[in-house]
A and B are shown apart, each in its own frame.
Chain A
Amino acid sequence: DAGVTQSPTHLIKTRGQQVTLRCSPKSGHDTVSWYQQALGQGPQFIFQYYEEEERQRGNFPDRFSGHQFPNYSSELNVNALLLGDSALYLCASSLAGGFRNTIYFGEGSWLTVV
């Protein structure tokens, strides 16, 4: 049973560039959320996708956008990168409905903006 998988694992981008991060949810899960974790801090919620629509969004600028595909996989796009966007980006998946759902995380994508 594959868990949450993310790619790429590490990447370095230049300020002003654009980046796309990818996530495949755990088998059977239909909901994907993205989090940003700066060094030494707890993860911060970016947004959540369900049925290919953004269901909830955290306090992040429009430079952060996402997409969910029919197979439930998801992408996170960040435009006009800033040095402050350097962080670990975590993808989480869960199954909508039913109170026993659990949220699982991938290993993350380490983004460095120089």
Chain B
Amino acid sequence: AQKVTQAQTEISVVEKEDVTLDCVYETRDTTYYLFWYKQPPSGELVFLIRRNSFDEQNEISGRYSWNFQKSTSSFNFTITASQVVDSAVYFCALSDLFGGSARQLTFGSGTQLTVLP
């Protein structure tokens, strides 16, 4: 069975601070996808990044960066110079593969990030 753990329930930072959201996962699959989504109060899950299990290259996109470490089953997400608009719930998710396609997503319980002005 797959499992995703986001130990941080709530994080509060002051604008311009850096913040890291932790994600630890469990799976027996050798190939899988990892995702991060942002959920503002409107409810829509906004896609941020997808990472394949065989690609451990870390990625930076603007103020966002991701650190994937297969050895520790972690996929952490860092926001640099946080802004008030970053306030949302962030979800880490894991997917198995079937025929090369992602199947069901297993989500963590989410981290509520509040960025104070």
A interface residues (Cβ-Cβ under 8 A, vs B): 31, 33, 35, 41-45, 48, 55-56, 58, 88, 90, 92, 94-99, 101-108, 110
Contacts and interface: CB of A to CB of B under 8 A. Distances in A.
Interface of B: 4, 35, 37, 42-47, 50, 52, 91, 93, 95, 97-110
A102 B105 contact: no
B101 A94 contact: yes
Central interface residue in A31, A43, A44, A103, by most chain B CB within 10 Å: A103
Contact of B104 (A33, A99, A106): A33
The 4 tightest CB contacts between A and B, nearest first, are A42-B107, A105-B45, A45-B104, A107-B44
Contact of A97 (B42, B95, B101, B110): B101
A108 B108 contact: no
B103 A56 contact: yes
24 contacts: A35-B105, A41-B109, A41-B110, A42-B93, A42-B108, A42-B109, A45-B104, A45-B106, A48-B103, A48-B104, A55-B98, A56-B98, A56-B104, A94-B101, A96-B99, A98-B101, A102-B50, A103-B50, A103-B102, A103-B105, A104-B47, A105-B45, A105-B47, A107-B42
B10 to A, nearest CB: 11
A105 B98 CA distance: 20
Nearest to A106: B44
Contacts of B91: 42-43
Given A43-B45, A105-B47, A58 B104 contact: yes
A99 to B, nearest CB: 5
A99 B46 CA distance: 20
Nearest to A95: B101
